[in-house]
Structure 1
Amino acid sequence: MTTPLRNSVTVHTADRPGASCVLEELAVPTYETLPRFTADLDRLTPEQRRRFRRTVAAFVEDLRTGSFRAGLRIKRVQRAPGGYELTWSMGTGPAGRATWEYGPACRPGTPRIIWRRIGTHDILTGP
């Protein structure tokens, strides 16, 4: 099941013409999901998606303050210039990971996140 995009506006950037920015209070200030992220998200169990949403809530708090807590384990993805990953517990099994990058702001002074992939360590083969 794909999370619907709400309150979206269309922006035109050199790298992604016609991309949508989603303005949602409970998610990141503005974000975009790439098709691979959406497909990956649909493959997660409801519990895994719940854990990701809880992680995103902490991520958003830290994004607004400009300093990420150590528990999110945010680091650069080595083979993806401009790409980052964050990691969280998915309960049993391997840790959950999501890759993302900063995109051009939709609103001045508000970071924009482009979600690239979500799953386990395996997603790092093609972030």
Structure 2
Amino acid sequence: MPTYEALPRFTTDLHHLTPEQRRRFHQAVTRVFIPDLRSGTGFRTALRIKRVRSAPGGVYELTWAGNGRATWQYGLEIVPGVPHIVWRRIGTHDIFAEP
């Protein structure tokens, strides 16, 4: 199981989502993102994971709904050989004003 942390801004953003948005994000992460991360063979195209070019340091975008986005990056491994994810922002396209 990958380890993760959430930046304070992510936590604030998460509290502003509707219950349905939180449910959809949770489903995308638990049913697709984590299994794909574990497999080590790449992410399914349905997640539309891509690098955020305007953000330094290898920040990625995860699409979890039509207008649902989350930004994340790989952090330093806490458990050797297990990916560590740092969640940065979550919401609509508006999060890209400050990824």
TM above 0.5, one fold? yes
Aligned AA (1:87): T
CA displacement 1:78-123 (0-9 Å, x = unmatched): 111210001022xxxx510000000000000000000000000010
Q: How far off is 1:125 after superposition?
A: 1.0
Name the counterpart of 1:14. none
More RCO (CA 8 Å, sep 6+): 2
Describe the superposition over 1:28-64 as per-residue Cα deviations: whole angstroms up to 9, x where unpaired.
Answer: x100100000000000011100000001011000001
When normalised by structure 2's length, the TM-score is 0.93
Structure 2, unpaired ranges of 5+: none
Question: Runs in 1 of length 4+ with deviation above 6 angstroms?
Answer: none
Counterpart in 1 of 2:38? 64
Number of residue pairs aligned between Structure 1 and Structure 2 = 96
Paired AA for residue 63 in structure 1 = L
Over the matched positions of the two proteins, sequence identity in percent amounts to 66
Relative to the length of structure 1, the TM-score reads 0.73
Q: Name the larger-Rg structure.
A: 1
Structure number with the higher helix fraction is 2
